[in-house]
Amino acid sequence: MDLMRRGPLVDPEAPVVQPYLRRSQDERLRRTRGLRRARILLPAAVGLFGIAGIAGLGYAARWYLLHSSRFNIVKVAVTRTSHAPQAELKRIADKARGRNIFKLDLTRMAGEMEKVRWVKIAAVRRVVPDRLMVAIEERVPRGLALFRGRVSLIDEEGAPIDLYTGAGEFANFPIFTGLDDAHPERSRLQVSRGFAFLLYLEETHPGLASEISEIDLGREDRLALTLNGGGPIVRVHPTDYGSNLDRWLEMRDWLQSHLGTGSYVDLRFHDRIAWQPMTNKKNQGTAAQ
């Protein structure tokens, strides 16, 4: 009964945490958390400062490269050409002088040079700090074609290179006519047909191409040959070039002497040569075979 009067029971062995010890533990916990936070944030801060420094250096270097007079172009060297006019190439090159070498659009400059006659490819290269090198590849003439009423030298793709003056290796070369000037893709296909036919003649009938003045490529169903010595137009199959060709070569003199000058001779039919005699407008359309 006396114990109940004295108050609640207390464990005499339970440790008593003093207030100053609790404060010490809280401080140690806060310091530990602060150190952990510092270990995380410090590398990130260092990284951000590093990135900012590199970006600043990059910006400064870029500004220097794009604005320093040290990098203004003072010389443009253009390779020597055999046919492409050097004066026109030099005029284009001179427009780059004094401009910043890194600001100059090399692709645009090369494209402008490739519009010059005879130029196939223009390659422009920077030579730091203040020079440009321009390498010119010229077109190689492969034949002749009639473009807009004028005979021009053409390359293997049929692109006109320059006006033909009547001299050189193409003096006896047939002229491609009937090309579709308004549609370059079709014109290229027409020219490829013409070159394929000439290659066939070179392999099978050497010397025959020199007898041909013009090859009309305007129709998809035929090649129409005009001969240097006159006579009828010779119509050849567009793919089977040899159809009746040998037979016609053997008998063309006979046809000329017995039938006279014809309007055309057609070799496209199987085992048959069609001969169209010259007729007046009233009787035009009749044929003798």
Tell me what pLDDT residue 30 has.
Answer: 63
125 and 77: one domain? yes
DSSP string, 171-214: TTPPEEE---TT-HHHHHHHHHHHHHHHHHHHHHSTTSGGGEEE
60 and 76: one domain? no
Tell me what pLDDT residue 37 has.
Answer: 65
**Residue located via tokens 């359309």:** 285
Tell me what pLDDT residue 97 has.
Answer: 94
87 and 134: one domain? yes
| Angle in degrees, 0-180, between the axes of helices 86-94 and 106-113, rounded to the nearest 10 | 160
Is pTM, for the whole model, over 0.75? no
Domain that holds residue 271: 143-277
101 and 207: one domain? no
In angstroms, the CA 221 to CA 214 distance is 17
58 and 76: one domain? no
Residue 6 within a domain = no
Residue 120 within a domain = yes
Residue 198 within a domain = yes
Tell me what pLDDT residue 135 has.
Answer: 97
268 and 232: one domain? yes
CATH of the domain at 86: 3.10.20.310
148 and 273: one domain? yes
Residue 251 within a domain = yes
Residue 187 within a domain = yes
223 and 155: one domain? yes
54 and 116: one domain? no
pLDDT tens for the chain, 289 residues long, are 444 555 555 455 555 545 555 556 556 656 666 666 656 766 766 666 667 767 777 777 777 778 888 999 999 999 999 999 999 999 999 999 999 999 999 999 999 999 999 999 999 999 999 999 999 999 999 999 999 899 999 999 899 999 998 877 888 899 999 999 889 899 999 999 999 999 999 999 999 999 999 999 999 999 999 999 888 999 999 999 998 999 999 988 888 888 777 889 999 998 898 988 876 544 444 343 4
238 and 180: one domain? yes
Give the domain-ending residue among 138, 157, 186: 138
200 and 217: one domain? yes
Count of domains in the chain? 3
Strand-pair partners of 234:
225, 265
CATH of the domain at 241: 3.40.50.11690
Tell me what pLDDT residue 58 has.
Answer: 75
Cα–Cα separations (whole angstroms), residue 281 to 101, 119, 230, 284, 285? 69, 48, 21, 5, 9
Residue 3 within a domain = no
81 and 33: one domain? no
Residue 160 within a domain = yes
